[in-house]
Amino acid sequence: MNNMENMIGAKALMTAMEKEGVKEVFGLPGGANLPMYDEFARCNIRHILARHEQSAAHMADGFGRVSRKPGVCFATSGPGATNILTGIATAQADSAPMVAVTGQVPVAMIGKDAFQESDIIGMANPVVKYAFQPRHASEIPEVVKKGFFIAQTGRPGPVLIDIPKDVQQNEAEMVFPDEFKIPGYHPWADPDLVAVEKAIDMLLHSQKPVILAGGGTIISSAFAELQAVAEALMLPVVTTFKGKGAFPENHPLSLGPIGMHGHAEANRIMSEADCVLAIGTRFSDRSVGTFEEFEKNLKIIHMDVDPAEIGKNQTAQLAVVGDVQMNLRVMVKLLLQKAIKKTEETPWIKHVKETKAYWQENLKLHPGEMGAAKILRKLRELLPKESIITTEVGQHQMWASLFYDVIQPGTFFSSTGLGTMGWGFPAAIGAKVAKPDVPVVDIAGDGSFAMTENSLATAVLEDIPVIVFVLNNFTLGMVAQWQRTFYDRRMIGVDQGKCPDYVKLAQSYGAQGIRAQSMDELDKAIKDALSSDVATVIDIPIDPEEDVLPFVAPGTSLKDMILPS
Amino acid sequence: MWAILSILVENKPGILFKVTHLFRARNFNIDSISVGVTENPDYSKMTITTYGDEKQVDQIVKQLDKMIDTVKVEHLDEHKTVFRELSIFKIKLSNANDSMEVNKLANAYGGKVHDVKKDSLMVELTATPDQIKAFEELAKPFGIIDVARTGVAALQRSGAE
Ligand SMILES: Cc1ncc(C[n+]2csc(CCOP(=O)(O)OP(=O)(O)O)c2C)c(N)n1
């Protein structure tokens, strides 16, 4: 116990957040959170105004994924709180650390259907890691401390703190605790030496082993460890889409993401493997196809921080529960101790390399000058390797998966769990706030960008110069592709052709807008954007009929990949 | 497989909703549920019975365990556990003989008889769900007017931990 002080709840909130190291928050005010907003005038936290609460949450999410510290977003009660829900659910689906603070009607009005009352705790509970609703101002310091702790430990996730207006306004004697108890929360497990040893054994005794790195590898920053294990045991590395860039994609052992829109070579090798070291993945259906087919003839070693993931979607022969970086570290140590280092190329590795080379040469690409592959390879060529990429949701996202190689691990982020269109741009803003010194690019589709384009106002007014790279096919492309493939070309509800003009749109916000219709123009546009000190939208018209291929249709297995004909 | 889960939770408002919601959201089933505060008022104990194969029950336990408000989750071994459910049956009496017969039946199952009227009586039974079901079968011919059952409450036997 220390630091006793009399203050109102709102001030206690800011003080507690300052103690957590919060420097920026993203939000939008209203009546029910005004006491908190008033405190921004008197504290050292920068408030960044979003134009929609969903975007505020995505900004916090992007900030959190890049900084590995909870991003913070603020919304008022009722519609502000419900607007923020999509952002919270997105963070939950991707295990991103976040603290969302909502205003609530005064305690005495709760349950009375008051103006702008919504039962946000009830609505959010299924999509948060935890939710608090302090009923007395004096609870706030401990709630904040617990909230930040829960959001960033174990498997990270969003925490909601819903504070009734009178609780913000009431004065109380505040105790800012150094310690607290959460009896039911055990975010850490010690590394499992025995299991790790068994895992090594299983990998050494299989003929066709692979590593499947998921998003958990990125969340725990296990990059060096992953690379050391892969190199020592000479294991090919495939990733999930969420794990894209956990391993340098220009490494000879790298095959890229598996899954519905995975790389052909990755899907092939994954379906031929006899043993997989799966790291920090929940075996999403988008990654593995049908569950039954995936685990057939495959020994699974599952490393994950979340015990509930073991056996949820796939049956593991061996489970290694705990932080994946810690367990991989143990593995590296054991490999060193036992002097296990494969140097000779096995027939399997030879086959892996041949498969990779084959697909890199023979995958049919769009013939036009402005095909997706060429555009994304140009972006890769011109961006420094430490640049951060976010994406929206759709074909452009999958083209990014296929054709934009992540070289520096942990620099690629996407809404892969919930698949939220409109995530990438605000998330890019949050990412840029977390890492102002590196270029941040949102790879977007026209449809997704339209969902949160008003964040341009935030980017311009708050001086957050991110780049939006719009692969503009004038359509909700991914849906259009499904309609072409599965619905006999009945194109319903996908045409976005008429508006808007994204160059003019950007300019109207005071941002830079550039249209790139040839490779030369694109080259120049990217360079201009990189040297610009305002946000830039690059509008790149592309063929509306270009498909993303290969494609593993829903309900089928990785073996049954549809290839470009 | 029928499974008895014993769940120690923090005694806070909304926790029952969270636990039952988890079952719904994760596509699990609740067979019966009972909740009561423990000797320590900070905690409540829930007993939930459910059906599922081994893998499913294992998943339920893990998902419950992951909840921040759950302090301890146990899948109890039926054979090492004392588990009981309370039920109250209102049974129809059609003739003078019935009353005696139902009384005998209740006695055989260790039940207590309440609210004896000319044309009905109530039997209170604390027993395992199987025994309650057996009693129900035998009482059916008399005519069951109404029935109320609690969920199962269960504790592991000493030395079986
Ligand atoms: C909020 C939301 N609504 C709907 C969808 C369904 N959806 C998935 S991809 C897609 C089309 C995306 O279009 P666009 O952003 O233009 O990208 P493109 O596929 O054309 O590259 C839609 C509508 C979604 N993922 N998210």
Q: Which amino acid is at A280?
A: G
Say whether A543 sits in a helix, a strand or coil.
coil
Q: Is B109 exposed, middle or buried (0-12, 13-18, 19+ CB in 10 A)?
A: middle
Say whether B32 sits in a helix, a strand or coil.
strand
- Angle subtended by helix axes A193-204 and A324-337, to nearest 10: 60
Q: Do B62 and A310 touch (CB under 8 A)?
A: yes
**Residues β-bridged to residue B120:** B92
Which residue in B17, B65, B68 is closest to A182 by CB distance?
A: B68
Q: What are the tokens at A367?
A: 């013939």
Q: Cα separation of A551 and A553, whole Å?
A: 6
A152 an active-site residue?
Answer: no
Task: Nearest chain B residue to A312 by CA: give it.
Answer: B59
Residue among A14, A202, A478, A561 flagged as catalytic: A478
Q: Cα separation of B102 and A228, whole Å?
A: 75
Residue A25 pLDDT: 98
Residue B13 pLDDT: 87
A40 an active-site residue?
Answer: no
State mean pLDDT over B49-75.
Answer: 95
- The tens digit of pLDDT for each residue in A198-230 reads 999 999 999 999 999 999 999 999 999 999 999
Q: Cα separation of B72 and B52, whole Å?
A: 20
- The tens digit of pLDDT for each residue in A321-334 reads 999 999 999 999 99
A53 an active-site residue?
Answer: yes
What single string gives the DSSP state of each residue in A210-267?
EEEE-HHHHHTT-HHHHHHHHHHHT--EEE-STTTTSS-TTSTTEEEE-STT--HHHH
Whose structure tokens read 């199962």? B152
Q: What is the pTM of this model?
A: 0.95
- Comparing C-alpha atoms, which of B130, B127, B151 is closest to residue B19? B151
State mean pLDDT over A425-436.
Answer: 98
Cβ atoms of A63 and A430 closer than 8 Å: yes
Cβ neighbours of residue A393 under 8 Å, at least 6 residues apart? Answer: A414, A415, A419, A420, A421, A423, A424, A445, A448, A478
Q: Cα separation of A284 and A295, whole Å?
A: 13
Residue B161 pLDDT: 63
Rounded alpha-carbon distances, angstroms, from residue A128 to A90, A243, A418, A464, B71: 10, 22, 13, 28, 18
Q: Is the pLDDT of residue A90 over 50?
A: yes
Q: Cα separation of A497 and A499, whole Å?
A: 6
**Residues β-bridged to residue A209:** A275
Cβ atoms of A408 and A383 closer than 8 Å: no
Please count the residue pairs, one from chain A and one from chain B, whose beta carbons lie less than 8 angstroms apart.
40
User: Taking the CB of residue B114, how many other CB atoms lie within 10 A of it?
Assistant: 12
Say whether A492 sits in a helix, a strand or coil.
coil
Q: What are the tokens at A370?
A: 């402005």
Q: B55: distance to nearest CA of chain A, Å?
A: 7
Q: Cα separation of A480 and A496, whole Å?
A: 11
Give, using CA atoms, the residue closest to atom 20 of ligand 1: A477
Rounded alpha-carbon distances, angstroms, from residue A147 to A123, A152, A161, A306, B23: 18, 9, 8, 19, 25
User: DSSP assignment, residue A417?
Assistant: S
Residue A53 confidence class, pLDDT cut points 50, 70, 90: very high
- Comparing C-alpha atoms, which of A69, A377, A83, A328 is closest to residue A216? A328
- What stretch of H or E contains A540? strand A536-541
A165 an active-site residue?
Answer: yes
Chain-centre distance of CA A237, in angstroms? 20
Q: Cα separation of A141 and A176, whole Å?
A: 5
Question: What's the 3-state SS for A264-298?
Answer: HHHHHHHHHCCEEEEECCCCCHHHHCCHHHHHCCC
Give, using CA atoms, the residue closest to atom 16 of ligand 1: A447
Residues of A contacting chain B (CB within 8 angstroms): 121-122, 125-126, 129-130, 150, 182-185, 306-308, 310-312, 315
Domain ranges of chain B: 2-76, 82-156
Which residues line ligand 1 at a C-beta cut-off of 6 Å?
A 392-396, 419-421, 445-448, 471, 473, 475-479
Cβ atoms of A391 and A424 closer than 8 Å: yes
Residue A265 pLDDT: 96
Cβ neighbours of residue A420 under 8 Å, at least 6 residues apart? Answer: A58, A86, A87, A89, A90, A393
Cβ atoms of A427 and A455 closer than 8 Å: no
Cβ atoms of B62 and A308 closer than 8 Å: yes
Rg (CA), chain B: 18
> A350 φ, ψ to 5°?
-60, -45
Rg (CA), chain A: 24
Say whether A321 sits in a helix, a strand or coil.
strand
For residue A182, which residues of chain B lie inside 8 Å, CB to CB? 68
- The tens digit of pLDDT for each residue in A348-358 reads 999 999 999 99
Whose structure tokens read 């000797």? B39
Q: What are the tokens at A321?
A: 């529960």
How crowded is the C-beta side of A98, counted as CA atoms within 13 Å? 38
How crowded is the C-beta side of A193, counted as CA atoms within 13 Å? 2
Q: What are the tokens at A37?
A: 């907003």
- Comparing C-alpha atoms, which of A409, A392, A517, A393 is closest to residue A455? A392
Interval between CA A479 and ligand 1 midpoint (Å): 7
Q: Identify how many contiguous H helices and E strands chain A contains and give both numbers.
A: 23, 20
State mean pLDDT over A99-115.
Answer: 96
Domains B2-76 and B82-156 equal at CATH topology level: yes
A342 an active-site residue?
Answer: no
Say whether A433 sits in a helix, a strand or coil.
helix
Interval between CA A112 and ligand 1 midpoint (Å): 38
Residue among A19, A20, A40, A116 flagged as catalytic: A116
User: Taking the CB of residue A479, how many other CB atoms lie within 10 A of it?
Assistant: 17
- Comparing C-alpha atoms, which of A298, A322, A302 is closest to residue A312? A302
Q: Cα separation of A513 and A443, whole Å?
A: 15
Residue A1 pLDDT: 47
* Cα end-to-end distance, chain A, whole Å: 69
Biggest alpha carbon–alpha carbon distance for chain A: 73
- The tens digit of pLDDT for each residue in A362-400 reads 989 999 999 999 999 999 999 999 999 999 999 999 999
State mean pLDDT over A287-303.
Answer: 94
CATH top-level class for B2-76?
alpha beta
Q: Is the pLDDT of residue A123 over 60?
A: yes
Atom of ligand 1 nearest to the CA of A86: 1
Residue B159 pLDDT: 82
State mean pLDDT over B81-107.
Answer: 96
ipTM given for this complex = 0.90
Q: Is the pLDDT of residue A2 over 60?
A: no
Residue A10 pLDDT: 98
Cβ atoms of A31 and A400 closer than 8 Å: no
Cα dihedral: B78, B84, B87, B93 (round 10):
90
How crowded is the C-beta side of B101, counted as CA atoms within 13 Å? 16
Residue A188 pLDDT: 87
Which fold, B82-156? Alpha-Beta Plaits (3.30.70)
- The tens digit of pLDDT for each residue in B142-159 reads 999 999 999 999 999 998
> B95 φ, ψ to 5°?
-145, 175
Q: Cα separation of A110 and A286, whole Å?
A: 41
- The tens digit of pLDDT for each residue in B135-146 reads 999 999 999 999
User: Taking the CB of residue A251, how many other CB atoms lie within 10 A of it?
Assistant: 16
